[in-house]
Homo-oligomer: A and B are copies of this chain.
Amino acid sequence: MDNSWATFGRDLHLDLSGPGGLRAALMRALREAVRTGRLAPGSRLPSSRSLAADLGIARNTVADAYAELVAEGWLSARQGSGTRVAWGYRPDGAGGASPGARATPPARRRPPEQDRRPDQPRFDLTPGTPDVSSFPRTAWLAAARRALTAAPHEVFGYGTAAGRPELRTVLADYLARARGVRADPDRIVVCAGFMQGLGLVSRALRGEGGGPPNWPGEVRGRTAQASRNPRRPGEDWRQGDGQLAVESYGLGFHRTVITRVGLRTVPLSVDERGARTSELSALDDVRAALLTPAHQFPMGVPLHPDRRAEAVNWARATGGYILEDDYDGEFRYDRQPVGALQGLDPDHVVYMGTASKSLAPGLRLAWMVLPDRLVDKVLAVKSTGEWQSGSLDQLTLAEFLSSGAYDRHLRTMRLRYRRRRDQLVAALTEHAPHVRISGIAAGLHAILELPPGAEQSTLQTAHRQGLAVHGLTFYTDPAATAVSRDALVVGYGTPPDHSFANVLDALVSALPAP
Q: What residues of B have a CB within 8 angstroms of the CB of A140 in the complex? A: 148
- In the complex formed, the residue of B with least CB distance to A111 is B152
Q: What residues of B have a CB within 8 angstroms of the CB of A5 in the complex? A: 212
Q: Nearest Cβ distance between residue A188 and chain B, in whole angstroms?
A: 10
Q: Kindly supply a per-residue 1/0 record for chain A positions 446-461, scoring 1 wherever the CB is within 8 Å of any chain B CB and 0 otherwise.
A: 0000000000000000
CA of A363 to CA of B157, assembled, Å: 8
Q: Kindly supply a per-residue 1/0 record for chain A positions 176-206, scoring 1 wherever the CB is within 8 Å of any chain B CB and 0 otherwise.
A: 0000000001100000110110010000000
Residue A262 is within 8 A (CB to CB) of chain B in the complex? no
One complex includes copies of this chain to the number of 2
Interface residues, chain A, CB within 8 Å of chain B? 3-7, 11, 37, 40, 90, 92, 96-107, 109-110, 112, 115, 128-129, 132-133, 135, 137, 140-141, 144-145, 148-163, 165-166, 168-169, 185-186, 192-193, 195-196, 199, 210-213, 216, 256, 260, 359-365, 375-376, 379-380, 382-393, 496
Q: What residues of B have a CB within 8 angstroms of the CB of A393 in the complex? A: 390, 392-393
Q: What residues of B have a CB within 8 angstroms of the CB of A148 in the complex? A: 137, 140-141
CA of A468 to CA of B129, assembled, Å: 46
CA of A256 to CA of B195, assembled, Å: 24
Known: A375-B102, A379-B100, A379-B101. A360 touches B157 (CB 8 A): yes
Q: What residues of B have a CB within 8 angstroms of the CB of A196 in the complex? A: 385-386
Known: A97-B158, A109-B152, A260-B384. A6 touches B186 (CB 8 A): no
- In the complex formed, the residue of B with least CB distance to A97 is B158
Known: A100-B162, A161-B99. A385 touches B106 (CB 8 A): no
Q: Is the CB of B37 within 8 A of A383?
A: yes
| Chain A to chain B contacts (Cβ below 8 Å), 22 pairs | A37-B384, A40-B379, A40-B380, A98-B159, A98-B387, A99-B161, A100-B161, A100-B383, A102-B376, A102-B379, A105-B185, A109-B152, A110-B152, A112-B154, A132-B155, A137-B149, A141-B149, A196-B385, A199-B386, A260-B384, A363-B392, A389-B390
CA of A380 to CA of B38, assembled, Å: 9
Q: What residues of B have a CB within 8 angstroms of the CB of A388 in the complex? A: 98, 100, 192-193, 362, 364
Q: Most chain-B CB neighbours within 10 Å: which of A110, A216, A387?
A: A387
Known: A4-B212, A105-B185, A168-B106. A362 touches B392 (CB 8 A): yes
Known: A152-B109, A211-B4. A158 touches B40 (CB 8 A): no
Q: Which of B3, B154, B256, B363 contacts A391 (CB 8 A)?
A: B363
Q: Nearest Cβ distance between residue A358 and chain B, in whole angstroms?
A: 12
Q: Most chain-B CB neighbours within 10 Å: which of A100, A137, A384?
A: A100
Q: What residues of B have a CB within 8 angstroms of the CB of A141 in the complex? A: 144-145, 148-149
Q: Is the CB of A361 within 8 A of B129?
A: no
CA of A379 to CA of B380, assembled, Å: 26
Q: Nearest Cβ distance between residue A106 and chain B, in whole angstroms?
A: 3
Q: What residues of B have a CB within 8 angstroms of the CB of A105 in the complex? A: 165, 185-186
Q: Is the CB of B103 within 8 A of A165?
A: yes
Q: Nearest Cβ distance between residue A501 and chain B, in whole angstroms?
A: 18
Q: Most chain-B CB neighbours within 10 Å: which of A4, A5, A112, A186?
A: A4
CA of A112 to CA of B90, assembled, Å: 46
Q: Most chain-B CB neighbours within 10 Å: which of A11, A37, A192?
A: A192
Q: Nearest Cβ distance between residue A5 and chain B, in whole angstroms?
A: 8
Q: Is the CB of B159 within 8 A of A362?
A: yes
Q: Is the CB of B160 within 8 A of A101?
A: yes
Q: Most chain-B CB neighbours within 10 Å: which of A4, A6, A375, A386?
A: A386
CA of A104 to CA of B496, assembled, Å: 42
- Using A37-B384, A103-B163, A192-B388 as known contacts, list a sample of 10 further A-B pairs with CB atoms less than 8 Å apart, ordered by residue number in A: A37-B383, A97-B158, A115-B152, A129-B157, A137-B151, A141-B145, A141-B149, A199-B385, A199-B386, A385-B386
Q: Most chain-B CB neighbours within 10 Å: which of A148, A380, A392?
A: A392
